[in-house]
Amino acid sequence: MTSQPSLPADDFGIYHVLAECTDYYDTLPVKEADGNQPHFQGVTGLWNLGNTCCVNAILQCLCSILPLVEYFLTGKYITALQNDCSEVATAFAYLMTDMWLGDSDCVSPEIFWSALGNLYPAFTKKMQQDAQEFLICVLNELYEALKKYHYSRRRPYEKGSTQRCCRKWITTETSVITQLFEEQLNYSIVCLKCEKCTYKNEVFTVFSLPIPSKYACSLRDCLQCFFQQDALTWNNEIHCSFCETKQETAVRASISKAPKIIIFHLKRFDIQGTTKRKLRTDIHYPLTNLDLTPYICSIFRKYPKYNLCAVVNHSGDLEGGHYTAFYKNSVTQAWYSFDNTRVSEIPDTSIQNAMAYLLFYSCQPFSIPIQKR
């Protein structure tokens, strides 16, 4: 067998190992599917189990995140598994194996869907679900199953430093989910009476963005709307620890920890009391070189630019909609559309569409997978 060329480690610090007992390939790896049509690794449809298009769209997008896929296919997840909550993570590993290494054009997500449904019964009901809520539940359960405890000393705060918002905080738990998806926002809160400033941090994995227009706007417009300074007055006043009473405040957010994979949730579903509506705004989003520099705290600008790697689309309305997914396959470097069992290659010009609901961006392109000998 020929030896594998040595490759430099990337920012993810891992290699993408997708098969065993094979030579290093010189051409794109394909599997022969029914009808002698080439079936590429990772390009696999999912059966609809009864209004599970939401589940399938999210799973297809997670299937595109090669560092996450590699972590499960190589068995690294086994050493991190927490015995009391391992069912979801194990089912996810089996599903990723079927989607990347199996011989079928379509596979069933039933085992994974059932495992998650035991914890979140609402997702087993055969009615439309919110893809963003399902994604958060999946990431939370994978985090809980794979978390490890880590203790580090806090860096002393230097008096007079202008980078107060960028202090390092003690991390007590970590996992592959935090390493890839976790983002931290820092809020600077200024009391408009005493002008003293306090800081608050918020950690999350899915970044929900407001949509500032009814008709058309850009992803940058959504970001600017979120990060603009906001004045909290009247019933929204915040307690000031210096004034010892509620005061009007000015709040501004910045990113103090940029993730390697950033997921934007476009808030298309507007629910106010009993009134529900869907915003059908045509939002333009870049496929490459999304620059987040203006929103990232200057000391943490390791990943300022991002490339689109997957999209969840929602068509229809709040009561009778349908989810599909686009993602860029790292093997073929082509974009594919996934509509349950229907899979087709699509041109780059089709990625931009008015139905986008979740956008997955990576800080660097994923490597073409390396096969393990």
Q: Are 65 and 309 in contact (CB under 8 A)?
A: yes
For 223, phi then psi, to 5°, come to -65, -45
The kind and range of the H/E element at 227 are helix 219-227
Is-contact 167 156, C-beta < 8 A?
Answer: no
Which of these is catalytic: 85, 166, 197, 322?
Answer: 322
Running DSSP on this structure, what letter comes out for residue 163? Answer: -
User: Which one from 16, 39, 53, 191 is the annotated catalytic residue?
Assistant: 53
Tokens in use for 37?
């049509």
Cα–Cα dist 30/327, whole Å:
18
Annotation says 53 is catalytic:
yes
| Structure-token pair, residue 318 | 């709040």
Alpha carbon distance 219, 210 (integer Å): 10
The beta strands (E) that lie in 53-111 are given as 106-107
Nearest-5° angle of CA 338, CA 343, CA 349?
70
Query: What are the residues facing 38 on neighbouring strands?
Result: 32
Catalytic sites, residue numbers: 53, 322
